[in-house]
Each structure stands twice: as C-alpha cells, then as structure tokens.
C-alpha cells in the first residue's frame, strides 16, 4: 500500500498508530462472510457496520489479501465537508473493476474471474468506533450445460457407452451419474474420467464415460455442480414411436400414388400409340387400293371405254325417264283443264 494512503489513514484517526494496525491486522481467528460469485458476473460486498450507522462512518477501506499483503481496492475518506479521492491508491490490477456505493456502503466487484477467489476485508471507522467485516469469495462457473452422447451401432441395442461432458467449469467438478429407476453398482461401470484446464481462463473441461451392463429400460442423466443434463433413454427395446410409424405409412402411400400415376400415364401413352398405328395402316391400305384402280384404268383402255359407255347409257336412261315423266305430267294437266271447262 502507498505510504501516502497509510499516512492519510493514520492521521485521520487518533491515536495515529491505530489506523495503520487496521490495515495490517491479522485475518486469523475472525469469522468471514462466505460469498459465491459467478464467473463473468458482478458480486457485491455489503460493508455494513454493526457498531455505528452509515451516516456516522467517515472512512471505509476495502482491501484484498494478496499473498501476505493487503491490497487497497476501493473506499472513501470523509474529511470535514469533503470526500477525499482515493482512486489513485487502488491496486493496479483492480482499477476500473470496483464501484463504491457511498450511500449504502456496498462495494461491487465487476466481471469476476478465477483470480478473484480469496479473502477480502472491509474496514469502517468513525470518530469513536471501528468495525471490520471479512469476506471469503469463491467463484463458480458452469458455462455449458452437461451433455450426454451415446456410442452404439444399433439404436435398439443395450450394448453402448455413454459420455457426459462439459466445458468452462470451475472449480474442478466431479461428474455424477443418475439412473431412473435406480440400478445397482454391478449394472454399470466407469470406463474413463478426463479433465483439462484452460491456461488463460483457469476453467476446466471435463468428461466421464460409462458402460451400462443392465438390460432394463432406464433413463440416465449426469450433473456437474447443480447443473443437470437432459435424460437419455437406455436399452430402447420398444417399437418405434407412433409418430415414426405414421411417417412410414404416409411415405408408403405417397410412393404408391406416384407408382399408380406413372402406370396410368404409361397405359394411356401405349393406347395412343396403338390407335395412331391402326389409323396409319388404314390410310395406307386405302391409298394402295386407289393406286391399283388407277393403274388398271391406265393399262386397259377398253375397260375405260366400257366404263364411259356404261356411264353414257346410264345418263341416256335417266334422260328418257325424265322426258316420260314430263309428258305424263302434261297429259294430266290437259285432262284437268278439259274437265274444268266441261
């Protein structure tokens, strides 16, 4: 601690040597308030005196024991109507990491890390009394929830290993396994436990692998500190879930419909091709007959004249029949006129 700050402390309280002893007094033999901070969060140290009210307190010193030497972290000194600025005396490592609420005498330590673990002390002094509050700060970290991974070839098989793992943990944890319903120690065994520490953060990465020897349907979970993983089902012997069955049935129906549609399209296309082929054959046959008739007419002129003669005779017969009908109609008309005159 700075000699200047020590002088300020000693000169502000009579006798002068007593203020110095406050900062250097042994921490042994005094009950401490246990605080638990969460890694990366803030933690409050309530410096509340049991001997005097906040209004009467004129000096507060908050310090941490680092090694064998207390280090000043924050506080204030009220002198007459002014408050002495003590920020320049704050230990370099904790500058801008502490906040002093003068109205309530609460010191906040920001963004706690593993290095903040340890013993702290708050000293409160007024004109006639002094009080000391000691704290012990522990840090915990559960940055990730423990997870269980399964290693087995057949999802319905009981032969498998299970691994519980998590990272960003402090302090070094013990992984605990839980079984529902409970099984005896002969029905499971620990295969491996591993842990490693991050050199920068001081946090642990841990894992535990077990083998289940039981053939019963059970659920397992694991926990680290108070954080519990999701449950995992072991030895799944029952049939697939109803939802899975429904998906299988729906998929089969869709496949059957697709096959049916393709079959209908195939049959329709086949019928269309057969109809087109029949029409083509009919047209070809008719064309061949026409060509044969034309060929006969060209090769046999007599047949052609005979045909023309037959057509001429037919025309003459038709003309003669027409004339006879006309004469018959005239005679009927004359008879009608004669009858009318008479």
DSSP assignments along 103-150, one per residue: TTTEEEE-S--GGG-EEEEEEEE-SS-EEEEEEEEEEEEE-S--EEEE
Q: Spell out the long-range contacts of 226-233 with Cβ–Cβ below 8 A and sequence spacing 24 or more.
A: 226/142, 227/142, 227/145, 227/146, 227/166, 228/146, 228/178, 229/145, 229/146, 229/147, 229/148, 229/164, 230/147, 230/148, 231/180, 232/148, 232/150, 232/162
Find the Cα–Cα–Cα–Cα dihedral 313, 314, 320, 324, rounded to 10°.
150
- 8 Å CB contact between 141 and 75: no
Which residues 6+ apart lie within 8 Å of 96 measured at CB? none
> Chain-centre distance of CA 140, in angstroms?
27
Share of the chain above pLDDT 70, in %: 66
Share of the chain above pLDDT 90, in %: 34
At 135 the pLDDT is: 95
Spatial distance between the Cα atoms of 186 and 171, rounded to a whole number of angstroms: 30
Query: What values do phi and psi take at 97, rounded to 5?
Result: -115, -5
- 8 Å CB contact between 151 and 160: yes
Closest CA to 224 of 169, 163, 150: 169
* Helix axis angle, 242-299 to 301-341, nearest 10°: 90
At 163 the pLDDT is: 94
Q: Is 66 exposed, middle or buried (0-12, 13-18, 19+ CB in 10 A)?
A: middle
Q: Is the pLDDT of residue 314 over 60?
A: no
CA distances (Å), 186 to each of 74, 164, 180, 183, 189, in order? 57, 20, 15, 8, 7
Q: Is the pLDDT of residue 154 over 90?
A: no
117-121, 202-206, 286-290, 293-297: the lowest-pLDDT one: 293-297
At 336 the pLDDT is: 40
Q: Is the pLDDT of residue 298 over 60?
A: no
11-20, 123-132, 141-150, 165-174: the lowest-pLDDT one: 11-20
Q: Is the pLDDT of residue 55 over 60?
A: yes
User: How confident is the model over 215-230, as a mean pLDDT?
Assistant: 88
95 or 23: which leads in pLDDT: 95
Q: Is the pLDDT of residue 241 over 80?
A: no
H/E segment holding residue 77: strand 69-79
Spatial distance between the Cα atoms of 75 and 124, rounded to a whole number of angstroms: 9
124 or 287: which leads in pLDDT: 124
At 26 the pLDDT is: 41
Q: Is the pLDDT of residue 196 over 90?
A: yes
CA distances (Å), 84 to each of 5, 7, 45, 91, 297, in order? 11, 13, 21, 17, 139
């Amino acid at each position: 601690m700075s000699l200047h700050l020590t002088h300020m402390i000693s000169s502000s309280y009579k006798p002068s040597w007593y203020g110095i002893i406050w900062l250097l007094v042994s921490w042994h033999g005094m009950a401490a308030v246990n605080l638990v901070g969460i890694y990366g969060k803030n933690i409050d140290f309530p410096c509340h005196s049991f001997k005097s009210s906040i209004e009467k307190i004129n000096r507060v010193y908050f310090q941490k024991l680092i090694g064998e030497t207390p280090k000043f972290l924050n506080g204030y000194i009220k002198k007459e109507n002014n408050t002495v600025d003590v920020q320049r005396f704050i230990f370099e490592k904790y500058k801008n990491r502490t906040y002093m609420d003068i109205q309530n005498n609460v010191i906040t330590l920001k963004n706690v890390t593993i290095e903040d673990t340890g013993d702290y002390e708050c000293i409160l002094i007024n004109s006639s009394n002094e009080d000391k509050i000691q704290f012990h700060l522990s840090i915990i970290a559960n940055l990730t929830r423990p997870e269980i991974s399964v290693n087995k070839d057949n999802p319905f098989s009981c032969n498998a290993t299970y691994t519980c793992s998590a990272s960003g943990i402090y302090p070094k944890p013990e992984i605990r396994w839980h079984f529902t319903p409970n099984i005896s120690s002969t029905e499971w065994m620990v295969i491996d436990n591993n842990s490693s520490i991050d050199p920068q953060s001081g946090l642990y990465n841990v894992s535990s692998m077990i083998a289940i020897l039981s053939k019963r349907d059970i659920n397992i979970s694991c926990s680290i500190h108070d954080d519990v993983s999701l449950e995992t089902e072991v030895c799944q012997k029952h049939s697939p879930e109803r939802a899975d069955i429904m998906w299988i049935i729906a998929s089969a129906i869709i496949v059957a419909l697709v096959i049916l549609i393709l079959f209908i399209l195939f049959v329709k296309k086949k019928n269309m091709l057969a109809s087109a082929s029949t029409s083509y054959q009919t047209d070809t046959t008719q064309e061949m007959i026409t060509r044969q008739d034309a060929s006969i007419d060209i090769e046999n002129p007599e047949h052609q004249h005979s045909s023309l003669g037959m057509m001429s005779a037919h025309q003459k017969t038709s003309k003669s029949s027409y004339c006879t009908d006309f004469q018959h109609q005239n005679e009927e008309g004359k008879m009608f006129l004669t009858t009318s005159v008479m």
